[in-house]
Amino acid sequence: MTSLKNPILYGFLLLLVLSGLQVKAQVPDTTLQKLGIMPKEEPSPLRKITVSGFYRFFGTLTQHEEPYLLNPVINDTVLSRQLFIGDDSQLPNFQLNIAGRPSNKTSWSFDVFAFQFLQGALGTTYGQQIPDSLRPSFQDPLSGARLGGSMNLNLGINFTGSHETDVGIFTLKAGGIQWVRLSDLTMAGFRGYNRFTVFERNPWDPVGAAVDSRYETFFNDGGINQDTRWGNRAFQGVVLEGASLPGDLSFTAMVGKTEFNGGFAPWPSYTYGGKLHKTTSAGYVGINTINSNAWADSLALERVGFDMVTAEISQNIMGFNLHVEGGTGQYVSPNVNDGWGGLVSATVTTPKHKTIPQVSLHYFYISPKVINNNSIFLNTSIVEYNPTNLPAGTIGSTSVLQPFGSSMLRIGQMTNNRQGIDMNIEHALGDFRFNVGFSSQSELEPIASTITFGHPVNQLTRSRLWRWVFPTEVGPYQRYNVIFRDVYEVVNLADDSSGVVVNKKHFNIFEPQIKYNTKIFNKDLYVYYLGYYSSVQRAWSAFLVTNEEAYIRQYASEFEAYLTVSDIIVLSGYFGYERTLGNYLTDINEETRRPRNQTGTGYGVGVDVDLGRNAQLYVRNRWFAFEDESFPLDKFKGQETLVELKIFF
């Protein structure tokens, strides 16, 4: 109480009271309610500036026990030992995201990224290369060539503005790369049925709140957390969205570029489209469209592109979900102008029930005249116009857009010139989760004399044999084509008639997935099994063909196990086995006189370590092997160690 006798304290209290009276006299009561030591509303006009991002160290040590011919044209073989720092996914190792919000209705953002400073002729696309002699030392980091010279924008500068009116809410997005989804047949990314392995991480995988959250989520929810790119397509341009419009309407309109409008031609190349949806009591109905335009000549007389328009309905009826999308499309180029063709994709899904499996039936039909590289179906029938005529892997080449042949795909992914029906069954039974798919598909016209397929076991390990480029016709027998994080193999068929394809191909796929969760010494153990069994043959079949009537038969099984040792450590294990067999209507080796007879195996162990909030360490070691007994040069064996450190801030 002695402090109250302090005249300075009395003076301070008196000043505080007088200030309060003055504020009371000058400021309305409504404003006073918002002010104070803890204001209820943040001040304007500047609302907020945030900085976030991540750092990702990724290193790969690969060891091969014997040489493997990567490219016979230049006699390039794998190195017996290779240490690679960074990731050839072309995603940055370090990125900053800066965002600002001038008001509660307007925001802007941009990012800054940096690649690792690798040796080798990577070119200016991946940043400025700095010789070791010019790099700054840790004792004097400001001297020498500044590392900041290799920092650049990744997705560009984005602007988003929203305005609420009496007739609806309108949002404008412009600037850098945006992630957009219209519909499956117009503009979307393939999502599938969540049947995949999680042993090896993707560059875009997030860090979970707990070290085992990834595996727990995969077991309980059937999928894992994904970022905004999942199921969407990259788009650069202007996007206008409208919501809460009269009549329960909403729309999206866009004009700009997708990844297929790039290149170095001086004349315009752009994509435009959008959707108009009406919300109903049980779902929605709508129309969607996408159109791509480019020109093969400087006078803009010879168009290259495609057009597509679809109608869509999604309704919940007595617990059943019905989703149907259908329409028409065309492809136009100086070489191709076959007119319009139809397409449809329809799915019906039964209600979820604890004691009854949930069943989903999907039917699709896509004309060989229809093409849309921004949708979830692939092109297998149309030779796309290639104005540059540059080989794949060369800057400016469009060879990657050439037909994939008659592709053996996962269930849910579609191609043109094909129709089929898929059935997917999901059920939870005690500590088990079942997710099983069946598919039977047929070509509409006999067009391609080739079949293409991938290798599920050691898929990413195989893709890392070729770094930074996507070459075609590589490998010992020049039958592999490299795409983003995958490699597919080309099979030539010998049942044509004087070079004319006469037989349509039919496909069967069986994909079982079983997940199991139990406890060992009160620690969670997750065990996953994933199978992929597929065949392609000349005659239609309701079930998988397992004899030599099939051109190609492929059987793959992958097992994973994850044990939560503690709150910060998870141990993991992996085993994969794959068999691929061809019949005598496919490629025959001139020496052995036999078709494909391939075996692939993979074994792996790993550990996940929680290093603190938003920081985790992942280590994986894989022993891999592959051999084609009929083609003796197509054989490799070795091991691969991967170390990833990922920190979000």
What's the pLDDT at 263?
66
Cβ burial, residue 339 (10 Å; 0-12/13-18/19+): exposed
What's the pLDDT at 616?
96
Contact 536, 504 (CB under 8 A): no
Other Cβ atoms less than 10 A from the Cβ of 631: the count is: 22
Output DSSP code: residue 630: T
Contact 530, 196 (CB under 8 A): yes
Helix (H/G/I), strand (E/B), else coil: 301: coil
- Does the pLDDT of residue 17 top 70, yes or no? no
pLDDT tens-digit map of 64-78: 999 999 998 889 999
Q: What are the boundaries of each domain within the chain?
A: 52-95+155-648
pLDDT tens-digit map of 157-168: 888 988 888 899
Rounded to the nearest integer, the mean pLDDT of the chain is: 85
All residues at 6 or more sequence positions from 555 whose CB lies less than 8 Å from its CB, including other chains: 531, 532, 533, 578, 579, 580
What's the pLDDT at 27?
41
Q: Using 50, 70 and 90 to split pLDDT, how confident is the model at 46?
A: low
CA-only gyration radius of the chain, Å: 29
pLDDT tens-digit map of 559-611: 999 999 999 999 999 999 999 999 999 999 999 999 999 999 999 999 999 99
Query: How far is 303 from 334, CA to CA, in rounded Å?
Result: 7
Side chain identity at residue 593, one-letter code: R
What's the pLDDT at 118?
43
Other Cβ atoms less than 10 A from the Cβ of 517: the count is: 18
Query: How far is 594 from 604, CA to CA, in rounded Å?
Result: 32
* H/E stretch holding 9: helix 7-26
Q: Using 50, 70 and 90 to split pLDDT, how confident is the model at 420?
A: very high
Query: How far is 397 from 386, CA to CA, in rounded Å?
Result: 8
Domain 52-95+155-648 fold: Maltoporin; Chain A (2.40.170)
What's the pLDDT at 387?
61
- Does the pLDDT of residue 267 top 50, yes or no? yes
All residues at 6 or more sequence positions from 123 whose CB lies less than 8 Å from its CB, including other chains: none
What's the pLDDT at 404?
66
Ranges 88-92, 128-132, 268-272, 284-288: which has the least confidence: 128-132
Strands (E), 67-198: 69-71, 76-77, 81-85, 94-103, 106-114, 151-152, 157-164, 169-180
- Mean pLDDT computed over 122-137: 58
Q: Using 50, 70 and 90 to split pLDDT, how confident is the model at 452?
A: very high
Going 580 to 581 to 585 to 591, the CA torsion angle's sign is: positive
- Does the pLDDT of residue 315 top 80, yes or no? yes
Contact 493, 550 (CB under 8 A): no
pLDDT tens-digit map of 188-224: 988 888 899 999 988 888 888 899 999 999 998 887 7
What's the pLDDT at 262?
72
| pLDDT over 90 percentage in the chain | 59
Other Cβ atoms less than 10 A from the Cβ of 12: the count is: 11
Query: What are the structure tokens assigned to 63, written together?
Result: 């060891």
Largest Cα–Cα distance in the chain? 112
- Does the pLDDT of residue 390 top 90, yes or no? no
Query: How far is 23 from 90, CA to CA, in rounded Å?
Result: 58
Query: How far is 289 from 186, CA to CA, in rounded Å?
Result: 6
- Mean pLDDT computed over 17-44: 45
Of the chain, the end-to-end C-alpha distance in Å amounts to 48
Strands (E), 296-357: 303-317, 320-332, 340-349
Contact 422, 410 (CB under 8 A): no
C-alpha distance from residue 418 to each of 381, 384, 391, 538, 552 (Å): 10, 18, 28, 14, 18
Nearest to 412 by CA among 403, 400, 421: 421
Other Cβ atoms less than 10 A from the Cβ of 155: the count is: 18
Contact 93, 57 (CB under 8 A): yes
All residues at 6 or more sequence positions from 260 whose CB lies less than 8 Å from its CB, including other chains: 271, 292, 373, 374, 401
Q: Are strands 418-429 and 249-257 parallel, antiparallel or unpaired?
A: unpaired
Query: What are the structure tokens assigned to 469, written together?
Result: 């480029």
